A and B are shown apart, each in its own frame.
Chain A
Amino acid sequence: AQKVTQAQTEISVVEKEDVTLDCVYETRDTTYYLFWYKQPPSGELVFLIRRNSFDEQNEISGRYSWNFQKSTSSFNFTITASQVVDSAVYFCALSVLNTGNQFYFGTGTSLTVIP
């Protein structure tokens, strides 16, 4: 069975602090993708990043970075020097090659950045 767990329901940080959003996934397949999406208060889910299971190289995009560790089945997301515009709900997701086109979403982490 496939599953994505985002244990942090809500996080509040003060602007300019760093924050890490945790994502733990479960799958027995060796070929899969992991994703992060951002849902700002406006409501539309925005794709942030996709990683495939064969590429554990960490990625940095501006203030955003992602740490993929197969050994712990985690795909954590760090925002450096957080800003108020980062306030949103963030979803982690998994898709697995051998389960058709089904996607598995975590329950989301609501991040509030306090000015």
Chain B
Amino acid sequence: GAGVSQSPSNKVTEKGKDVELRCDPISGHTALYWYRQSLGQGLEFLIYFQGNSAPDKSGLPSDRFSAERTGGSVSTLTIQRTQQEDSAVYLCASSIDWETQYFGPGTRLLVL
């Protein structure tokens, strides 16, 4: 079956621009997660959704970051006024509640 997909695979943008990253979870997965991974680092939790609601937004690094999920499926992570320190790989994962997370291939964001 289809896994988690993310788009775009790579994104290069200029400092100050807004970017939108998309995640398509595995069909039927109720929970969706966003993580950030800087080069050579571990996973930094950003936000998770249960259905369309986000019980935990504690990981969002600043108010420039926002995310939404519609129809209990696709999610969009938006970064406004991008900064160079936002450059990283953004990973999405989905799961059935607290069971196994399955990860997408990630979006590599480079802010020039």
Contact = CB atoms under 8 A, between A and B. Distances in A.
Given A100-B55, A106-B42, A108-B42, A43 B101 contact: no
A43 B42 CA distance: 12
Interface string A31-59: 00101010000011111001000000000
Given A101-B48, A102-B48, A44 B105 contact: yes
Contact of B98 (A44, A46, A47, A97): A97
A37 B97 CA distance: 18
Given A91-B42, A101-B48, A102-B56, A96 B98 contact: yes
Interface residues of B, number: 24
A101 B105 contact: no
Interface residues of A, number: 22
B100 interface: yes
B95 A107 contact: no
A101 B106 contact: no
Contact of B31 (A45, A91, A101, A107): A101
B45 to A, nearest CB: 8
A47 B102 contact: yes
Interface string B2-31: 000000000000000000000000000011
